[in-house]
Amino acid sequence: MLDKKWNPRLPEDKLRKDLIDIYLTAFSFKIMLDKVKNHAKQSMKDDFDYEKQKWDKNHKVPDFKVGDLVLVSTLNFNNIKGPKKLKDSYVGPFVIVALHGTNAVQVELSGELENKHHNFPVSLIKPYQPDDKELFLLRNPTPLTVPPVEQNEDKKIKKVIKERRLRGKNQGEYLVRYRNTVHEDEWLAE
């Protein structure tokens, strides 16, 4: 039979078809690779479907339009004056000038944020809601007043705190503290 190039199917072959041979043949190696590839594809598809289901459950599509008033998050702003823990989490309101797809907007910045980049992702933007005067009748907005800084006082040196020499120069500098608390410590040349 074998000399006629006919390979008979024996009952033993039927029983061993799902077993892995100790010595892999090219055919059994290909079968193993196909199983691994199909398993990986199915796992990736299941993971993608699960993540998509989670995203669709919690995701809300932003409905911003050109001309809307929005507040901008100060999460990534480092140049806003004052202590970090006292800075506002959102500043604004600003007007939306253009939409860049569904994930970014361009706003018209003003004031100390004028030099910032004008495009922001939607995750850093929230709609502006003005106060409702009918709901909050007793609420009186109090304007913030900054105490005036008296610059006309003479700067009288209280003490010299540090001394340093600049490299390549014969000139020294002194860190001085003034008597009145309005003026901060500063470096003065000799």
Q: Domain boundary residue among 127, 147, 173?
A: 127
Asked whether residue 43 is assigned to any structural domain, the reply reads no
Lowest mean pLDDT among 46-50, 53-57, 183-187: 183-187
Q: Do 161 and 122 fall into the same domain?
A: no
Which residue's entry shows tokens 């459950």?
57
**For the purposes of burial, counting CB atoms within 10 Å of the CB of 93, is it exposed (0-12), middle (13-18) or buried (19 or more)?**
middle
CA–CA gap between residue 126 and residue 15 (Å, rounded): 66
What confidence category does residue 103 fall into, taking pLDDT thresholds of 50, 70 and 90?
Answer: confident
Which residue's entry shows tokens 């309101």?
93
Asked whether residue 56 is assigned to any structural domain, the reply reads no
More confident residue, 38 or 131: 38
CATH number, position 101: 2.30.30
Lowest mean pLDDT among 26-40, 150-164, 166-180: 150-164
Asked whether residue 100 is assigned to any structural domain, the reply reads yes
CA–CA gap between residue 10 and residue 16 (Å, rounded): 10
Asked whether residue 2 is assigned to any structural domain, the reply reads no
| The pLDDT of residue 7 | 58
Which residue's entry shows tokens 């008296």?
150
Q: Which residues, 6+ apart, have CB-to-CB distance to 106 below 8 Å?
A: 96, 97, 98, 99, 100, 118, 119, 120
What's the pTM? 0.45
Asked whether residue 3 is assigned to any structural domain, the reply reads no
Total domains, the chain: 2
Q: Do 73 and 120 fall into the same domain?
A: yes
Asked whether residue 82 is assigned to any structural domain, the reply reads yes
Q: Domain boundary residue among 109, 127, 145?
A: 127
In one letter, which amino acid is 99?
L
Asked whether residue 84 is assigned to any structural domain, the reply reads yes
116, 109 Cβ separation under 8 angstroms: yes
Distance of alpha carbon 162 from the chain centroid: 40
Q: Domain boundary residue among 111, 127, 143?
A: 127
Residues spanned by the domain of 166? 157-189
Lowest mean pLDDT among 41-45, 49-53, 132-136: 132-136
Asked whether residue 17 is assigned to any structural domain, the reply reads no
Q: Do 118 and 78 fall into the same domain?
A: yes
